[in-house]
Amino acid sequence: MSIKVVIKKSTYFDSVSLMSLSTKANQLPGVEQAVIAMGTEMNKEVLRNVGLLTAEVEEAKSSDLMIVVKAETEELCDKALAGIEELFSKKGETKGTSEIKYATIDSAAKSIPEANLAIISVNGAFAAREARKALENDLHVMLFSDNVSIEDEIALKKYAHEKGLLMMGPDCGTAIIGNVALCFGNAVRKGNIGIVAASGTGSQEVSVRIHDFGGGITQLIGTGGRDLSEQVGGIMMLDGIKALDEDEATKVIVLISKPPAPSVEEKVLAQVKQCKKPVVVYFIGGKEEAVAAAGGHFAKTSKEAALKAVVLAGANEDELNKRALNWPLIEEVRAKLTPEQKYIRGLFCGGTLCDEAMYSAMETFEDVYSNIQKNPDYKLKNLHESKAHTFLDMGDDDFTNGKPHPMIDPSLRIARFLQEAKDPSVGVIVMDFILGFGSHEDPVGVMLPAILEAKQLAEKEGRHLEILGYVMGTDLDTPKFEDQVNKLMAAGVTIASSSTNAGLLAREFVVKGA
Amino acid sequence: MLHVRTLSGDDGFLRRVASGELHGSVHSLFDRTINIHCEENGELFTIACIELDNGPNTLVVDRKRFQNMGIAVNDPVSVKADSLIIGKALSLTWQHARQWECVLPVYPSSDQKLRENMAVIKEYVAAHGKSGGLKKASSPANVFEAEVSSLLIARTNELYHALAHGRWSEACEFAIGLVGLGPGLTPSGDDYLAGLFSVYHMPNAPCCLPYPFFEKFTRGAHQRTNEISYMMIKKAAIGHVRESMVRLLEAVVNGTPEEVVHSLGNVLGIGSSSGTDMAMGLISGLALQLEMGGNVCLSKS
């Protein structure tokens, strides 16, 4: 065994980051023990007790950060330390890894005259200024930053509109432009379907389903979550529809959003009416009549949106595997659950995936609670305790304040999962596992010990606990989609083939007396 | 230069900037806080984002984050023309800030409600507290974490018993033995002590600790933890803790179980396991007060 130590002089990281780094460091290949802690006398004493004290550790001061790694060989130690360094650099995002660094957008635009898009992820206080600079340089903008005022958003979008540029965001986390996923996105086939979306994980899901049905994407244009509000008026969605309508490669357009403000919905549907191309409209929880009147194709679910899009784009519907609900499985699970096991608990990383599953449950049950419920009567008051059917968007600010997003740090979801698993009134726990750019490198792997623990606990108590998983990803994603699904199945998790099916299966599993 | 407004702040800090007595440099930077080292008194002062609560030596400003602002460690800090200037990037005004002072609630004459609320806190922390510090994880991440938890439990027990038997000199040694124990920026041992000390400084608390206890503790703790955490326990040793802790104590003394759970939720959200460790210190402090009921009161002088 070999032990190696790095001491970072006068280095401070907040506790949440340190815990997250420490968890990841212990998962690095070849690492038997990894400790990241402040160099206090007490911590050094602990290291002595566990056989990790070295001369370097003894020298550390209480304001120094100690990184101690124990591994089989010296080489593995070095590798692990390099891996930890990489984690630290990822944490200090400003360091970046590009070969050339530009101090300003102006200098970057000057040096790369062929560039036509800028991704901006700076503090909200400066984001609007940087976005304006990019637009002034005739660059389309994807603005990842949030905390931009609505006045700035409107001004930027109006300016971009005048210049014929895209202003995606603020708070836009997903786009696929020229077959390249930006920020959070999945590896999907190039095709003839264009998407305009005000919903990040919703657009990821539709793009993944389109890929699964054999179709492909031309462009996925994000608008930012506030675009369809009364104040912003859907400026970006209207421009996005127009851009895709004029794009020769795009044959079908898909729109995705939570229900827009009524006046904005009218404007968007008026634009749909003008379109030369078929438009599929998926406004989560939306109504069919208005969409049909505008000549659009209404979709009630993300799967239906993808299916309609690929059929309109030329696929033969009869040849598609529509991944129908597995009714024999539903009957089998119903038979395993006791009459007391009547509730669903949904623990989601993706907001739209949570929303979709919640809406499915609301079609059958009344007592559906969530931190993102629109109905105040069913908005969860105590986030730490579930009530009846509960669906949690764990990526919402309610849970991420001061903590990393669950797509990156799963610890909060793991703890909540174990809590729900102990509740004898729970019949099914449903979870999403999001693959792709920007996500955790092994979202299933980190949940597996907890899943096995929960299964054992339920078995010991003589009840069946149904765990339903949905892996959102394609065969082109990293980590491998198939491996992630196989790991879940080996742990006794039932796999849903889409976000839509995850919601429907969860609902049907706990229907009693059907 | 970005101009920000102070929304509220520690009255001592506000007086200091108003009198212009704050020269120093940036000590450390985080997403939501900037710590300043003050040349005049050697203490750390904190500029905190809007989401954080008031606390000793802290100003809360109307920003959500301090990332990528162009501020660096060792940047100069000074008061100029009614603004606190940090490096070349940030200027703070404080003239309309709400003054905050740490005022701990009075220990109640009847402890019935306190006993009921104690049961609520204990149950809630057991169910929702974060493991990794005093609350032992069912499967610790590594041997270090397991050993830290074991030591924390053993040493807090020793401290508890010494306090319960009025052996304050021994208790002080045990308290110093907890300082710096734990991996986080504010080690779990420090967080626990901050919670415990807050109870002992409640006016009319039946059990009290003599001034030399805290004096000796503060001296002994100085080099045993990092400067940021040391400021926290140094202030807690004179009864100054952050607002969320004060609110929790108020709820425990006077509030309904719902109010206790709400305040406790805010404390448990602090740091990684810091809030849980503080709450456990507070539980120990209150348990000691209830168990002893004033029968083992130590001299205040």
Q: Encoding tokens for residue A24?
A: 């990841």
Q: Which residues 89-118 of B are in CB contact (within 8 Å) with A?
A: none
Interchain proximity B180–A43, CB inside 8 Å: yes
Task: Determine the Cα–Cα distance for residues B298 and B163; give it in Å rounded to an integer.
Answer: 10
Q: How far is CA B200 from the centre of its chain?
A: 14
- Report how far residue B83's alpha carbon sits from residue A258's, in angstroms, rounded to the nearest whole number: 44
| pLDDT value at residue B293 | 64
Mean pLDDT over B3-10 rounds to: 94
Summarised one tens digit per residue, pLDDT across range A354-395 is: 999 999 999 999 999 999 998 999 999 999 999 999 999 998
Q: Give kind and range of the element (H or E) at residue A438.
A: none
Q: Which of A47, A147, A382 sits opposite B144 (nearest CB)?
A: A47
Q: At residue A303, does pLDDT exceed 80? A: yes
Distances (CA, A) of A370 to A10, A98, A374, A384, B116: 43, 41, 9, 11, 30
Q: What pLDDT score does A90 carry?
A: 65
Nearest residue of chain B to residue A126 (CA atoms): B69
pLDDT tens-digit readout, B112-156: 899 999 999 999 998 888 887 888 776 677 788 889 989 999 999
Query: Which pLDDT score, from 0 to 100, does residue A91 have?
Result: 58
Alpha helices in A184-287 (DSSP H): 200-212, 235-246, 262-274
Taking CB atoms and an 8 Å limit, are A62 and B180 in contact across chains?
A: yes
Query: Which pLDDT value is given to residue B65?
Result: 79
Residues paired with residue A280 on neighbouring β-strands, in sequence order? A254, A297
Does residue B147 belong to the interface with chain A, where contact is any CB pair within 8 Å? Answer: yes
> C-alpha A214: how far from its chain's center?
23
* pTM greater than 0.95: no
**Tell me, what DSSP letter sits at residue B157?**
H
Residue labelled with tokens 């020269």: B23
Mean pLDDT score of chain B: 90
- Per DSSP, helices labelled H in A408-496 are 411-421, 443-460, 481-490
Q: Is the link from the previous residue into A170 a cis peptide, with omega within 30 of 0? A: yes
Residue A344 structure tokens? 């669903």
Query: Chain B contacts of A23, Cβ < 8 Å?
Result: 141
| Nearest neighbour of A18 by CB, restricted to B142, B144, B183 | B183
Residues in Cβ contact with A34 at an 8 Å cutoff, skipping those fewer than 6 apart:
A22, A25, A26, A28, A67, A68, A69, A70, A80, A84, B142
Average pLDDT over residues A201-225: 96
Q: Which of B65, B183, B274 sits opposite A123 (nearest CB)?
A: B65
What average pLDDT does the segment A300-328 reach? 95
Q: What mean pLDDT comes out for the span A457-466?
A: 95
Chain A residues with a Cβ under 8 Å from any Cβ in chain B: 12-16, 18-19, 22-23, 26, 33-38, 40-43, 45-47, 49-50, 52, 62-63, 68, 94, 122-126, 147, 382-384, 401-402, 415, 419, 449
* pLDDT grade for A404, boundaries at 50, 70 and 90: low
Q: Which residues of A touch B227 (CB under 8 A)?
A: 63
Q: What does the block give as tokens for A40? A: 């206090």
Q: Is B189 on the interface with A (CB under 8 A)?
A: yes
Nearest residue on chain A to B125, judged by CA atoms? A384
Cα distance from A16 to chain B (closest Cα, Å)? 5
Nearest chain B residue to A381, by CA: B262
- Which of A14, A49, A70, A414 is the best residue to mutate to test the B interface, defined by the most B CB atoms within 10 Å of its own CB? A14
How many C-beta neighbours within 10 Å does residue A114 have? 4
B152 burial (CB, 10 Å; 0-12 / 13-18 / 19+) is buried
User: Looking at the partner chain, which of A12, A35, A52 has a beta carbon nearest the beta carbon of B185?
Assistant: A12
State the nearest Cα–Cα gap between A37 and chain B, in angstroms. Answer: 4
Q: What are phi and psi of A298, to 5 degrees?
A: -75, 135
Radius of gyration of the CA atoms of chain A, in A: 25
Chain A partners of B180 at a C-beta cutoff of 8 Å?
38, 40-43, 62
- With a CB-CB cutoff of 8 Å, which residues 225-244 of chain B face chain A? 225-228
Distance (Å, rounded) from C-alpha A404 to C-alpha A394? 11
pLDDT by residue (tens digit) across B170-200? 999 999 999 999 988 899 999 999 999 999 9
Mean pLDDT of chain A: 90
Instruction: Please report which confidence band the pLDDT of residue A95 belongs to, taking 50, 70 and 90 as the band edges.
Output: very low
